[in-house]
Amino acid sequence: MNVGIMIFMSDAIILFSHGSVLCGAGQNLAELAARMEARGDAAIVDVGYLNYTEPRFPETVRRCVERGAKRIAVVPYFLVAGKFVKEDLPSFVAAAREKYPDVEIRMADAICFHPTLADALLACADRAREPGAWRDTKAQAASYCRASARCPLYGSEDCPATRAAEVVV
Amino acid sequence: MKKAMLVMVHGSPRPIANTDMYSVVDVVRERGLYPVVEVGFMECNEPSIPEAIVRCVEQGAQRVVAVPYFLHTGNHVTDDLPTLLEQAQAQYPNVEFLMADYLGHDPLLADIILERAAQAQVG
């Protein structure tokens, strides 16, 4: 870390993510936030979504403030800082600052480039699996089924809700 | 056994969006653990994933470890990428294809996020 930069000591970190219609797509991020909170990266680590997945970002800010957050760092969980990060997020943050004038809310850079990403790629490669396991992630998504008709699994044999409905019929 | 890493990327209509990814891949090359490291795109950019697989095989790779450069488990990670790799395995039965965990699932992401949070700005 650059010595010249003031370190922001946040009491809450919000991971800002796009959201997905796929059931269970948010599970990994929820687990990541829980792990960060458990290891004390900040008193509160939570996730706020732009679309599709709950909770949406304004709701997450409200939850953090209710838990006592005074200094919130918003980190875009995006590999590339595109429109969602450069336009949508700043407008959300501006609205949150207006709503909670006593809370300091700062925005961080998206993930973009970091040399640790190379280590992460190599670690992922160490966990590579043979063909029989390539679709395990899809099976895990089904295990978080919310019976949403917008989920791409809905109506397929992989969807537990669809299978249950067929039994009833 | 000669190993290749195939980095599978979504692709973007704005090619500049891939700049940081290429920098990360350069660091992977510098680590020197894989004699062959290739990038393949699902959409928009070249080479495609099948084309990148051809490059791996032509450089003598006997094992191709394919890593999804994705943060989330959408249809691409759960379905489309496995399908592409199954097709590659059928095309090259003498090459061993392995599919790695997706980038967003690695615990190291937490360290990057924490560093970003510490550098959060007012603006």
**Residue A15: pLDDT above 90?**
yes
Chain-wide mean pLDDT for chain A? 89
Give me the CATH number covering residue A45. 3.40.50.1400
- Can you give the C-alpha Rg of chain B in angstroms? 15
Q: Tell me the mean pLDDT in the region A67-78.
A: 98
How far is residue B61's CA from residue A59's CA, in Å, rounded to a whole number?
Answer: 49
CATH of domain B3-118: 3.40.50.1400
Which among B20, B23, B98 has the least Cβ separation from residue A130? B98
Q: Which of A16-25, A42-51, A62-71, B48-57 has the lowest mean pLDDT?
A: A16-25
Domain assignment present for A126: no
Which among B19, B65, B122 has the least Cβ separation from residue A128? B65
8 Å CB contact between A109 and B116: yes
Domain assignment present for A118: no
How many structural domains comprise chain A? 2
**Residue A2: pLDDT above 70?**
no
Query: Which of the pair, A97 or B73, is modelled with greater confidence?
Result: A97
Classify residue A132 by its DSSP letter: G
Query: Do both A29 and A62 map to the same domain?
Result: yes
**Residue A85: pLDDT above 50?**
yes
Q: Which residue of A has its CA nearest to B16?
A: A80
Domain assignment present for A125: no
Which residues constitute the domain of residue A169? 135-169
**Residue A96: pLDDT above 60?**
yes
Contacts 24+ apart (CB under 8 A), B29-36: B31/A118, B31/A122, B33/A122, B34/A125, B34/B3, B34/B4, B34/B5, B34/B65, B35/B2, B35/B3, B35/B4, B35/B59, B36/B2, B36/B3, B36/B4, B36/B5, B36/B60, B36/B61
Q: What is the pLDDT of residue A167?
A: 58
| Whether complex ipTM tops 0.90 | yes
How far is residue A14's CA from residue B40's CA, in Å, rounded to a whole number?
Answer: 32
Domain assignment present for A120: no
Mutate to test the interface with B, among A39, A91, A134 (most CBs of B within 10 A): A134
Residue type, A111: I
DSSP 3-state of B25: helix
**Residue A119: pLDDT above 80?**
yes
Q: Which of A17-21, A35-39, A59-63, B18-22 has the lowest mean pLDDT?
A: A17-21
Q: What is the pLDDT of residue A169?
A: 45
Which among B14, B72, B110 has the least Cβ separation from residue A41? B110
Query: Do both A143 and A105 map to the same domain?
Result: no
**Residue A112: pLDDT above 70?**
yes
Query: Do both A104 and A69 map to the same domain?
Result: yes
- B29 pLDDT band, cuts 50/70/90, is very high
Give the strands of the sheet with B96-99, arranged side by side: B36-41, B3-9, B63-68, B96-99
Quick one: angle between helices B19-31 and A116-126, nearest 10?
Answer: 70
Q: Tell me the mean pLDDT in the region A11-32.
A: 88
User: What element of type H or E holds B10?
Assistant: none
Domain assignment present for A169: yes
Cis bond leading into A55, ω under 30°?
Answer: yes
Q: Using a CB-CB distance cutoff of 8 angstroms, which residues of chain A are in contact with residue B74?
A: 20, 22, 25
Q: Tell me the mean pLDDT in the region B81-87.
A: 97
Closest chain B C-alpha to A90 CA, distance in angstroms = 9
Closest chain B C-alpha to A135 CA, distance in angstroms = 6
Domain assignment present for A70: yes
